[in-house]
Structure 1
């Protein structure tokens, strides 16, 4: 059955294909893929063999050079290339993400053995269940610790967890039990959906774990404000300078919108921010 656009463009196959390419998001994904390919470098974290899983039968997934990518995985791949561009040596032995969604970053890092990474995702219920299912389906139940497994764990040190598992998914109230040192912390967008005191608390744990680098993706202009219960949003926006305050033990190394972030057609900026722990 033809769509309305296809009906109006009937007989013009090139126009139909162009419209489908635009509406499906493949056009945007292809642009991201070109930047990813052009900016990749041969060092950790290695991503040159990444091929996204089809677990869950995703609708938004595109194929380039016989490999599969979603818009989500391409966002992470671009951000990792930004990280590699900024740092001569990228430490990724122990990586923490808060709000990791279905686990795309974990899949990228863990799918290449050369990375030798332990990935920990902290997320709220029920989102943590999606990440657990996705990562366990790819890497096996014995290799990804879930919430239930961690409830019986007596030692939450990163050394202990990484010696037993490739990755783990836990809930926020378990994070204070974690001890040890992190190499990299990542949050994409979800911090902006929280109130400032919650974000500051999370970043306090990142600092407590002596994390070397912090990589954030943030809407420069802030999340939309809630208005009298009529529009969903936040009570107080979080912008880039707020992270500078929340991370007093860190210095801002670099920011980027073009080409690794994104600028919307109406002038909003999805910005990458990279921090380094002060000496």
Structure 2
């Protein structure tokens, strides 16, 4: 179950978000997700949030096609009846998605420009906090360091950024950071890095709890922060999305991974205006090339006016950013396009 303090954070921010500007409220795409996530939060608790029934669709993507270990073993028995010499390891890897996980981690490792940004990709992985349903070893002979799909997605995002920075970035701002995977990657490798995630409830609560479990008092949450006025996050933290205008610190890098595509254009435009006012030098976007499915009507599944990767680039261009790198296959094998944008001058 959810402790009183974390439950209070969820209830308070849900109440507050009802009274803010509409551009900070959950959009058409997120209406059903909000109700489903709140149900899982109350029924299943934070301790196993990575296994919530809603997790794989809304914030914890999985590799493979849903074959459980038990079902894989049943199918392996079937395969053995029709073909001699079936390789069990190859068979299980194909169904589990582990080959795709290895591929993504290998691409990030090979792609990373360690001269511009020294970074250890092998010694750190995703925490078992939250009970991840998938945990793939980063090397075939080491099961201690494991990763999931969200974790790998962020490694690819950062690998792309490494091609363009002049030195290791030290401060990051993210909108819609899910359970906080980007913060985990950065903070586990650099005790001095600043990372702030702005999100809607209840993912605000999930990321706050997760990063606090991992990093303790290095993480600022809004459990005891004022509801209005200037907002200071001296190190790293998680804040409500509607408090972005109150955030006092500047940042070097802004990141958005698969969440702008779920918003309406005016909402994204508002966020772009805000983050470009925080002094960022780089903006990194991993979002759909074509945009999310168009909703048949308000309240139906999908976006009313889908936001594409190119529209995001155009919004940043109005603030003096240019696309320094545009990456699709073979770096990113999905519907997403990875953009690294750099402020001119």
Equivalent residue in structure 1 for 2:154, among 61, 76, 81: 76
Secondary structure of the equivalent of 2:158?
Answer: helix
Structure 1 position 32 matched with structure 2 position 110: no
* Cα drift, residue 229 of structure 1: 6.5
Structure 1 position 54 matched with structure 2 position 128: yes
Contact 1:150 1:170 in 2 (8 A): no
* Cα drift, residue 156 of structure 1: 2.3
Tell me the residue number matched to 1:266: none
* 1:128-152 deviations in Å (ceiling 9; x for gaps): 1111111111111x22111223327
* Cα drift, residue 17 of structure 1: 3.3
Contact 1:9 1:15 in 2 (8 A): no
Tell me the residue number matched to 2:245: 176
Please report the TM-score for the alignment, with normalisation by the length of structure 1: 0.87
The 5-angstrom pairing of residues 138-149 of structure 1 reads 138-140=214-216, 142-149=217-224
Sort the Cα spacing of 1:88 and 1:227 in 2 relative to 1 into closer, same or farther, 3 A: same
The two structures, once aligned, show a CA RMSD in angstroms of: 2.2
Contact 2:160 2:340 in 1 (8 A): no
Equivalent residue in structure 2 for 1:214, among 270, 276, 283: 283
Tell me the residue number matched to 1:63: 137
The 5-angstrom pairing of residues 81-92 of structure 1 reads 81-90=159-168, 92=169
Secondary structure of the equivalent of 1:64?
Answer: strand
The whole-number CA distance in structure 2 between the counterparts of 1:45 and 1:195 is 37
Tell me the residue number matched to 1:224: 293
* Cα drift, residue 93 of structure 1: 2.0
Sort the Cα spacing of 1:275 and 1:153 in 2 relative to 1 into closer, same or farther, 3 A: same
Contact 2:328 2:337 in 1 (8 A): yes
* 1:26-62 deviations in Å (ceiling 9; x for gaps): 1100111221222233353623332221101101111
Unaligned ranges ≥5, structure 2: 1-69
* 1:109-128 deviations in Å (ceiling 9; x for gaps): 111137x3110000110011
The 5-angstrom pairing of residues 110-259 of structure 1 reads 110-113=187-190, 116-140=192-216, 142-151=217-226, 155-157=230-232, 161-162=233-234, 165=235, 167-228=236-297, 232-247=301-316, 248-249=318-319, 250-259=321-330
Please report the TM-score for the alignment, with normalisation by the length of structure 2: 0.71
Secondary structure of the equivalent of 1:149?
Answer: coil
* Cα drift, residue 258 of structure 1: 2.6
